[in-house]
Amino acid sequence: MTPDVNVLVAAMRLDHPHHAPAFNHLQTQLKLASQRPNDASIVLLGVVVAGFIRVVTNRRIFQLPSSLKQAIDFVDTLLLSPGVVFQGTGSQWPGFRDLCLRAEVNPDSATDIWIAASAMQWGEILHTFDRDFKKILPDEHLYLVSR
């Protein structure tokens, strides 16, 4: 499974309206991952981590944003958990290109399309609150987290 930006943001930020379901969902996934520490059960995509840091530290989004250190500590804590790995950028271009051309999406969704292409390339299931991913990802690569 690979979490989307919105799941990580909500899980970290106590003031987020979906904090409880996101935090509980992430904790459940971490528990499952710890039962299979030799398998990468949770994959943090580089583009998702970058988006997460951009959002939680943004003063235009949060009245009291997280510090860069708090955001990095959150990611580091996840990465120290058994079964969690970081997946940097790879060769997502062909999948990204195909999704852009196949899915009728707004160009403002470029980051979401890159996340979707990454999830598909790595055989992951994207866990997100964002129902717009239904337009991009096939069902077998998408899990919509309950709010």
Please state, in angstroms and rounded to a whole number, the distance separating the CA atoms of residues 93 and 12.
30
pLDDT in tens, 77-105: 999 999 998 887 777 677 777 877 776 66
pLDDT in tens, 109-142: 778 888 888 898 888 999 999 998 998 899 999 9
99 CB contacts (<8 Å, ≥6 apart)? 105, 113, 116, 117, 120, 136
Q: Please give the model's pTM, rounded to 2 decimal places.
A: 0.79
- In the chain, what are the domain boundaries? 2-144
Which one is the CATH code of 2-144: 3.90.1150.10, 3.40.50.1010, 3.30.930.10, 3.40.640.10? 3.40.50.1010
Which uninterrupted H or E stretch holds 110? helix 110-121
